[in-house]
Structure 1
Amino acid sequence: MLFTHKIDDELSLTLMQPAIAEQLFAIISTEQDYLNKWLSWPANQTSVKIAKGDYRDMLLGFADQKSLVCAIIYKGELCGVCGFNKINPSLKTALIGYWLSEKFQGKGVITRTVQYFIRHAFEDMALDKVEIAHAVGNIPSQKIIENVGFIKEGVVKNAENVHGKIVDHVIYGIMKSDWRHPIV
C-alpha cells in the first residue's frame, strides 16, 4: 500500500488506490442493498475496473490537493472509506464523507476516524472549517456527526437522487475556533 497512517491500536488509514480495488469492490458488491439505502454511488461501482478508475481519480485528487480519501483498516481488515471528498484551499474548508461495512458498525470506527480527520484538518492542514452532510432520516450518521461536535447549519432540499428517491441533506459544520480536541 502506498501510504498507511495509524489512528490507534485498532484503526489505520491507507490512501485510496487501485491496488485495494478488489477488496473494497467485494465489500460494496456484498453490501449493495445496505449501502444503497443512503448512498447513490454504490450502484455505479459495477466492476473492479470501474473501481480502479475511481480510486485512481482519488489519488489524482490527493496529488492536486483537492481531496484526501482513505480506506479504513480495522484490526487489519479493510472495512470502509472516509476522507475529504473536496478541499477548498481558498475558503480553507473541507467536505468529509464516509461509508462503513455493516459488519463493522457499533465499534466506534467512524467516530474515531472522523475525529482524526477533523484534527488533521485543523492541526496539519490549517483549515478553518470542516463540513459534512447526510440524508434526512439517516439517524446513525446524524448521531455520529453530532457526537463529534458538528453543528447543524441547515437543510438543502432536493440534494440528491438516491435510486429514484429525491432526498434532502442536513448540512453540518465545525469551525476550528469551536473545535474541542477529543480525547481518543
Structure 2
Amino acid sequence: MIHRITPDLHIETLDQKHVRTLWLAVDDSRSSLCTWLPWVDSTLSRDDTEVFVTAARTERRLGTAWHFAIIESQTLIGTCSFNRIVKEHRWASLGYWLHQQHVGKGVMTRCVAALVDIGFSELSLHRLEIRCAVGNRRSRAVAERLGFEFEGCLRECEWVNGQPLDHRVYSRLRQ
C-alpha cells in the first residue's frame, strides 16, 4: 500500500525491497537515534534489518502491527508505524523515526498525520497512542501538533543505553 502525502513524499508498507536502504538510513543516523530508541544498538548489520522486516511483514499479516517506509524523492528516510494494534479494543500505538538529515522539516508530522487517517478510516480504530521519552522534544512536538492529548508519565519504563527513561503518554480519540 502506498499513501501519497505530497508529490515527493509518501509512505508505503515496509517490505523486503527496503532492507538495504533501511539498514543504511539506520546506520547513518545511529548516533542520533540511539539516544531514544533501544533497538538501534541491536541493529548491527543488514541481516539484523532483514530479520526486522521479515517480522514486520508477519505482524502485518497477523494484523498486530503495520510498519511503513517513509519515502521522499524516491529515497527511504525513516519509518512510521502502528507498533502494536489491538483489534478487540480498537487501539494502536504509533512509533516513528527519521534520518537525521531530514529532521525539523515537518516530514514526520505529515507522515504521522497520514497514520492517524489510516488508523481511524481504514483500520476503524478508536484510540491512537504515542509514547515517547520525556526528553525527546521533537517526538513530543509531533504528538502535540497533531492534537494528541498528554495523559501522564510512565516512570522508568524503558532502558536505553543502560539508563531508564520516563515516557510521556499521548492519545487521540476518533471524533
Q: Aligning the two structures, in what range does the TM-score lie when normalised by the shorter sequence? A: over 0.9
CA drift of 1:5 comes to 2.8
CA contact (8 A) 1:135 1:168 kept: yes
Letter in 1 for 2:106: G
Report the Cα offset of residue 74 of structure 1: 1.1
Aligned mates of 2:22, 2:122 — CA distance in 1: 28
Match of 2:21 in 1: 23
Cα offset, 1:42, TM superposition: 0.8
- 1:123 counterpart letter in structure 2: S
- Equivalent residue number for residue 124 of structure 2: 126
Corresponding residue number in structure 1 for 2:142: 144
| TM-aligned CA deviation for residue 7 of structure 1 | 2.1
CA distance in 2, matches of 1:97, 1:162: 16
- Structure 1 residue 104 and structure 2 residue 102: aligned? yes
User: Between Structure 1 and Structure 2, how many residues are aligned?
Assistant: 175
Q: Is the 8 A contact 2:3 2:114 kept in 1?
A: no
Shift of 1:18: 2.3
Q: Which residue of 2 aligns with 1:52?
A: 50
Matched, 1:153 2:145: no
Greater shift after overlay, 16-25 or 158-167?
16-25
Q: What is aligned with 1:68?
A: 66
Q: TM-score by structure 1 length?
A: 0.92
For structure 1, list consecutive stretches of 5 or more residues without a partner in the other structure: 178-184
Q: Alignment partner of 2:95: what SS?
A: strand
The amino acid across from 1:84 in the alignment is F
Deviation at 1:57, TM superposition (A): 0.6
Distance in 1, Cα, partners of 2:164 & 2:57: 30
Tell me, yes or no, if the aligned pair for 1:18 and 1:51 is still in contact at 8 Å.
no
Provide Cα deviations, 1:101-139, integer angstroms capped at 9, x if missing partner: 010112211000111111111112111010011001111
Q: Are 2:96 and 1:88 equivalent residues in the alignment?
A: no
Report the counterpart of residue 182 of structure 1 in structure 2: none
Following TM superposition, by how much is the alpha carbon of 1:84 offset from its aligned partner in structure 2, in angstroms? 0.1
Structure 2 distance, partners of 1:66, 1:8, is 28
Partner amino acid, structure 2, of 1:144: V
Whole-Å separation in 2 of the counterparts to 1:30 and 1:112: 23
Distance 2:2 2:150 in 1: 32
Residue 163 of structure 1, CA deviation: 1.0
Whether the 8 Å contact between 1:155 and 1:168 is mirrored in structure 2 is yes
- How far did 1:175 drift? 0.4
| Paired letter, 1:141 | S
In structure 1, distance between residues paired with 2:116 and 2:2: 18
Q: Greater CA deviation, 131-140 or 3-12?
A: 3-12
In structure 2, how many angstroms separate the alpha carbons of the residues matched to 1:174 and 1:160? 22
Distance in 1 of aligned mates of 2:141 and 2:110 = 13
What root-mean-square deviation, in Å, do the aligned CA atoms of Structure 1 and Structure 2 show?
1.0
Letter in 2 for 1:25: W
Following TM superposition, the consecutive aligned residue runs of length 4 or more in structure 1 with deviations greater than 6 angstroms are: none
Counterpart-to-counterpart distance in 1, 2:15 and 2:122: 22
